[in-house]
Amino acid sequence: MAVHRFVTTSSTDALVTCDDDAVLDRDAAALMAETLDDLPHVQAVIADATVAGNRRRRPGWSPTGVLTDPVELTAVAVRASFADDIITTGDLADRLRVARRLLESGAEVAHLPRSVVRVAAPEELDADQWTELTTTIASLAPGVSLLPGVRPGSFTLDPGPHRAPITALIPTAGFAGADGAPAVEKALASVLAEMGDDDRVLLVVGAEFRGDPVMLTPDTRVGIVRRRGDVFNFSVAVNSGLLAATTDLVLLLNDDTETDQPGWLDRLAVHLTDSTVAAAAPLLRFPDGTIQHVGVILDDARPLHSFVGQEPTHLAEHHCDVARDVLAVTGACMLVRRDDALAVGGFNTDFALSFNDIDFCLKLRRAGRRIVIEPGASLVHHESLSRTPTITGAEWDTYIRRWGHVEDPWYHPDHHRPDDPEDLNRNADHLAPIIQPPPASARDTRIRSRVHHGRIQAAD
């Protein structure tokens, strides 16, 4: 392993750690030094890498990503004053210790969207390497253990045999599915199959509910919460459920979801054992098996779903098949910590139908909490089965005024967007650029609320 010490132009000692078999580009140290000088509020810098000859466009800093895909720590630059005492050889254990300190201290980490290092493709660990890694993880993050991931060099967090109790909130109007039965019955069955005696389900219903919700299930773990107001408001429904919930963990679940995948709820819950994580969400698929949701990105203010309509196997090509940080996730299925949700005021009732989940996630992000996507948990989402998707002008204006110029640090600036006006979701695809883009400047993960004047003028 290797540690490279250099001095920035401001005479600040800094360290770059990397594997012995990694090849740092000639100007890598200079680029990272410039970033530390330009961004005095950051303590460390990560960058893109070329893995097995392929450019890897990594997202912004993800503490979860460094556990599930340690190649993310191939090269890290850190201020010596921050980590000199814990860096000895620059090996993976050193880098994991740095990552842990960055997380626990709440330090800001910048991402330099340029490839500065070249490495070979990760290989499967042998028994000795596996023991060393798991021992290191256990010493740095007590209670966290790893399982082999979906591809060599990747890992999943082991949910273990026990988890905290969960209350599932399912706002529902009782609409029928294709088989004529209330769609919420399948959502209920999916979540009850994952629940123990200490878990609960709350059906949140209003005046629009068709029939008697009590007749949906005889299960004593299911209760009914009556939403106030005559007109459906998703945010009011969620907040009503949050106030009625008695557990620390709360699952927000649409009534048009279902799954027969065992263990999906535990796979989400393991992420919230980390106090810095406020929300975790699964991969959602359309009924034909293609991707409906695996995290939300912002493209010129508009929230979009990446990889829509693609096969889940496609995620591996972009290293998006492991748990990692994202800017936001959909409210169709989201596990949250109740205290964190209440601390940011729950869901904003100005967003009756749209943008409520994005606004909620951005509030959590602004409060210093993290959002994680877990592709290893998967549900089917019969999108918009219960109601027609509608974005009102008032919702759009309110959203833009609050978050209109937030930049997404977890979506790489070099990704090519198809710019298809007929299918806006395609614009979130992680495509390689058609023409090599100019070098992008470093970015951090701070969420700022700024006014997007151009959008407001367009809305007016």
Residue 186, H or E segment: helix 184-192
Coil/strand/helix, residue 141: coil
Length of the chain: 460
| pLDDT number for residue 177 | 67
The per-residue pLDDT for 452 is: 46
Number of helices followed by number of strands (H, E) in the chain: 12, 21
**Distance from C-alpha of 120 to C-alpha of 23, rounded to nearest angstrom:** 10
3-state secondary structure of 196: coil
Half-sphere exposure of 18 (CA within 13 A, CB side): 25
pLDDT of the chain along its 460 residues, tens only? 455 555 555 555 667 766 667 788 888 878 888 888 888 899 999 988 888 888 888 888 998 998 888 777 777 888 888 887 877 776 777 777 888 888 888 889 999 998 888 888 877 777 877 777 777 777 666 677 888 888 888 889 988 888 999 999 999 887 776 676 777 888 999 999 999 999 999 999 887 777 777 777 777 888 888 888 778 889 999 999 999 999 999 999 999 999 989 999 999 999 999 999 999 999 999 999 999 999 999 888 889 998 998 999 989 888 899 999 999 999 999 999 999 999 999 999 999 989 999 999 999 999 999 999 999 999 999 876 555 667 778 888 899 988 988 889 899 988 888 888 888 778 888 888 888 888 888 988 888 765 444 444 443 3
Q: Is 108 exposed, middle or buried (0-12, 13-18, 19+ CB in 10 A)?
A: middle
DSSP category for residue 383: T
Start and end residues for every CATH 3.90.550.10 domain found in the chain? 2-157, 166-403
CB atoms within 10 A of CB 364: 23
Q: Which CATH fold would you assign to the domain 166-403?
A: Spore Coat Polysaccharide Biosynthesis Protein SpsA; Chain A (3.90.550)
Residue 285 near residue 383 (C-beta atoms within 8 A): no
Distance CA 321, CA 430 (A): 13
Burial of 419 (0-12, 13-18, 19+ CB in 10 A): exposed
Q: Which residues pair with 176 in a beta bridge?
A: 182
Q: Rounded to an integer, what distance in angstroms lies between the CA atom of residue 458 and that of residue 460? A: 5
Q: What is the pLDDT of residue 455?
A: 42
Q: Which fold has domain 2-157?
A: Spore Coat Polysaccharide Biosynthesis Protein SpsA; Chain A (3.90.550)
Cβ atoms within 10 Å of 421's Cβ, excluding its own: 8
Q: What is the pLDDT of residue 206?
A: 83
User: Alpha-carbon distance 46 to 37, whole Å?
Assistant: 14
Output DSSP code: residue 71: G
Residue 389 CB burial class (10 angstroms; 0-12, 13-18, ≥19): exposed
**How far, CA to CA in Å, does 370 sit from each of 229, 275, 324, 447?**
32, 9, 10, 11
pLDDT value, residue 457: 41
Tokens of 371: 């959002």
Amino acid symbol at 35: T
Q: What is the pTM of this model?
A: 0.90
